[in-house]
Structure formats: C-alpha cells, structure tokens
Amino acid sequence: MTDSAQENGQRRYRVNGVIKGAAVVEEMRTLLEHWTPEEGHLDLQRRVLGEDLLGKATATRARDMIMYVFRPRLLTPTDAPARRLKLFLELNGNPGSFRELLLLYEARTEAVLYDFITAKYWPARAGGELWLRTTDALDFLDEGRRQGLIEGAWSESTRRRTAHALLAALTAFGYLSDARAERREILPYRPSDFIIAYLAHDLHFAGQPDTEVIAHPDWNLFGLDANHLQERLDALGPTAGLLLQRAGSVVRISWSHLSMEAMLHALVG
C-alpha cells in the first residue's frame, strides 16, 4: 500500500473519490489531453468549465472530477503521474494499458479500491469463483467498518453506492463483465507486459531497492506474486529495459533507461 492511500499514517476508506470517479476512463483521457504541465487544478477547472471540455457534464460534475478524481490521483503530491500519462497518450499508447495505468493510480489513492482488489477480487478469482456480487462488496465494506477503516457512520445509501462503485471500477478496468446486475462475471484478465515494465520502473525511480521492487504490494493489484512477477520480468528482459539476475534469494536488476520518460518513449513510441 502506498502512502497516498493513507491519511496521517492510517488508512481510511473515503467516499467521494470512489463514488465520483469509479468508471471515468474517457473523462480522464479528455482531462489529460487538455491539461498542461505545471497547470494547477484550479486553473484546469476554470478551463474545463469555460471551454466545456467535458461536454454534457454539469458544472458540479466537472468540478467534482477535478477536485475528487484528477487532482488526488494525478497531481498529488506532484504532477509526475499526469505528465507520464499525458506522454503515454501523446505516444498513442494502447487503450488497455491506459486503463491499467488509471487503475494503478486510482488504487493508490483510494484505499477502499486497493483493498477490494487485493483482498476480495484476486482471492475470489484464485478460489475459482465465477462472479463478484454486490453482496460481496457490501460484506467487504462491513469488514472495513469493523476494522476501523471507515470513519463515522455511512448511510445505507452511501454504503450501497460505494459497493456499486467498486464493481463499476473493476468493470471499467477489465476485471469484471459489463453486466448491470447484482453480480458480474470475473474475467480472465492478464496484466500486460507494459504495465509490468511501467510499475517496475516506477518503483525503481521512486528509490526502491531491487529486492523491494519485486516484493512491493502494488503488484498484488495485478495478481502477481514474487515468483510469477520474476517469470514475467525474465520473459520481458532487455526489450523492457531491464535484466533480472538471481542468486538464491538475492535479486538484482540491471536498468537501461535513465528516466520514466525515456522508458515510455522506448516502450510506447
């Protein structure tokens, strides 16, 4: 779990970010295409409203997208995520990989989604479950309340809207079917080579030692344990700008790219 999904050192399940930004792939694409580096969220908000960049969205909806979705996920604590995703789009990156990037940054920001994916979705899939149900999400939220991850008392409406938002997010990211029912089919999602290379470099350039890159919990978002991850990295090899070397329990990675931007140009451009 990254610090961005925590508040004052303690994880909390927030409402606004998940409900307002559960399935907003195209809205995020539009905002990234129009955002300019170093532009603050208030300046972007003014342009979005003044130029009607989100089309039919109401003024309230547009403000919510900036305040509760775009800003915390891509501009906080720095705008590095927004810069990288904007470059990815400018290089005509794969739409499926773009969804994976959005998943990574949304989950890092929203602890409730992070935990739902790692503690509910992947165990259900590994256990041979065929469906995720609204009741599964509700049970997950109730467990979070018992663990003290939910501050205050959520109304029944908020509880159900959050449960539906979790399922909607996983549908948007290709983890679940697009059925508008109380249950959605678990799909055979497999993380792309790109997201594996991206996340490995992201952790590396964030200062993580090679052993911590392999052991980082963010891989759980994509259903990868250390053994499967190392197999995928071995298969990628120099084409992804890295070379994995193992000696017993010691892991060392040789890195070719000098920055995330250089990696993106090499892998996407």
Three-state secondary structure string covering 133-177: EHHHHHHHHHHHHHCCCCCCCCCHHHHHHHHHHHHHHHHHCCCEC
Distance CA 152, CA 161 (A): 16
Contact present, 202 and 213 (Cβ < 8 Å): no
Phi, psi (deg, nearest 5) at residue 55: 65, -115
Q: Which residue has the tokens 């799909």?
A: 187
Per-residue CA distances from 191 to 19, 177, 224 (Å): 25, 16, 9
- Grade residue 3 by pLDDT with cuts at 50, 70 and 90: very low
pLDDT at residue 36 tops 50: yes
- Two tokens, residue 233: 């990295």
Look up residue 67 and give its DSSP letter: I
Mean pLDDT throughout 5-19? 72
Q: Reply yes or no on whether the pLDDT at 1 is more than 50.
A: no
The residue ranking higher by pLDDT, 250 or 224, is 224
Residue 190 banded pLDDT, cuts 50, 70, 90 = very high
Asked whether residue 249 carries a pLDDT value surpassing 90, the answer given is: no
What percentage of residues in the chain have a pLDDT greater than 90?
Answer: 74
Average pLDDT, rounded, for the chain: 91
Highest mean pLDDT among 50-59, 111-120, 178-187 belongs to 111-120
**Sole residue written with tokens 């955002």:** 35
pLDDT digits (tens, 9 = 90+) for 214-241: 999 999 999 999 999 999 999 998 889 9
Among 19-33, 116-130, 145-159, the range with the most confident prediction by mean pLDDT is 116-130
Spatial contact of 47 and 18, defined as CB atoms under 8 Å apart? no
pLDDT more than 70, % of the chain: 96
Question: Is-above-0.85 flag for pTM?
Answer: yes
**What is the rounded average pLDDT of the residues 190-201?**
98
For residue 114, pLDDT beyond 60: yes
Q: Select from 2, 68, 25, 9 the least CA-distant residue to 169.
A: 25
Distances (CA, A) of 95 to 22, 133, 202, 242: 17, 27, 19, 24
Query: How many CB atoms are closer than 10 A to CB 111?
Result: 24
**Helix (H) / strand (E) containing 34:** helix 25-34
| Per-residue pLDDT tens digits for 49-105 | 888 888 877 888 889 999 999 999 999 999 999 999 999 999 999 999 999 999 999
pLDDT reported for residue 16: 86
Looking at per-residue pLDDT, the higher value among 46 and 181 belongs to 46
Which bin fits 187, alpha (ψ -120 to 50), beta or left (φ > 0)?
beta
Find out whether 203 and 216 touch, Cβ atoms under 8 Å: yes
pLDDT (0 to 100) of residue 10 = 66
pLDDT at 159: 94
Encoded tokens for 218: 């963010």
Rg over alpha carbons for the chain, rounded to the nearest Å, is 19
Tokens found for residue 34: 């129009």
